[in-house]
Structure 1
Amino acid sequence: MKLLKTQRDNEQDDVLETSMAMVASALSDPSRVSILCALMDGRAWTATELSVVAGIAASTTSGHLNRLLSNGLVICLTQGRHRYYSLAGHHIAELLENLMGVSMHPSKTHTSSTPVNLRYARTCYDHLAGELAVNIYEFMLREKWLAADGSELTLVGKMHFERMGILLDSHTRRKPCCPCLDWSERRFHLGGNAGSALFTFFLQKEWVTRTPGYREVNLTDSGKVAMYRLFELKIT
């Protein structure tokens, strides 16, 4: 049996394909990619700050930001006389993280070129990424805190989150939790609502600190103790 597409189906396909091509084109410029990578720290930046990161003139940055805005990759918030730019949402961060993984050249023996400080712990928009995050995720799987496919917290996982005092947003449309492929480790870390809540909790407890203007995350001495107590991670 052969399925025939209607004219409307073809029109919808054309619109989707055109939209995908426009997003891909917006991602094709190295300067725009540098801007998006800077915004992966989950915070809002001014155009001037982004021009410094991308190493381009402010006037050029404005054009790049307009291109990213028109394709729904970033959003702009005006506060007083200042305009701040951030990623359009966690879904864009996940797209970029996956693209980073795809873009790294595979080899028989993979050796990451990611700087050591970023490889160990960094932000992936609003949740934790890097070796530390991957190890926490694997502990959660092993101890049955997560469903086998990482799509949700189990009753055991929810119980542990509640005991720690981690608040989950029950009203969000976001996925409760999901495996997010870590581009430097090539394994999964915890994303979704649970990943965001866990990272927020770490920050509130001052177990981790953020480096202003960078994606780098630092583990404090009290954080090292907590990682061992909660996730059996021995960190020297």
Structure 2
Amino acid sequence: MTQEPHGAKYFPVPLGDQARATTRASTADREEANAFLSAAMSVGALTPEEYTERAGTALAAVTLAELDELCADLPMDRLGGAVVSGRLDTTQVSTSGAAPVTRVSGIMSGGSVGGGAVVSSHLSAVALMGGVEIDLRDVEFTAPVLTVSCRAIMGGIRIVVPDDITVEVHGSGIMGGFSGRGAGPGRPGAPQVIINGFALMGGVETERAARGQNIGPRRPN
């Protein structure tokens, strides 16, 4: 295997491919490499310290070969389920005809999802030394259950949910916080939101707010 076809997802290949040493990595490639690294940590193949170091290096990677080097020793046969759980490949058509948003990231910057955005059954949120804001109060749901997979590494993810939907929070914090105070039941027939993932030296916070309520910017603690 040499160069990936245009639009293909990044996947590690054995070291020594000269074509990949001269092929520049995209932001999506770096995010995919991070998905493999975080999956490796979730199964115990990398320590949190090793993951943090490699994730930072992946952020600055220029070529596909540099990403391959970071993933060369990972047990790929054990990572399949863990990687898939964090990906958003489901594409559904909404009543408005718009394609659903499946990924939001804040990599040394900020990212957001809200307003009239369309969401399907999965939404992946990655905050790496940055911030992500997800406001689900006015989005268009196209599936009865939305799973939000969060990875906050030295960054923060804030999720605002309407006060009439059912919310489950199953995340964990590693030298960070994963707040479940927004969890709780909703009205019968309303969508269900499941929030999972981890916060490594960062934070994930879920809060409820009524539709139309202006919650404004958060003040730093």
**TM-score normalized by structure 2?**
0.24
* Higher Cα Rg, which structure: 1
Compare relative contact order (CA 8 Å, sep 6+) and give the higher one, 1 or 2. Answer: 1
Name whichever structure is richer in strand by fraction. 2
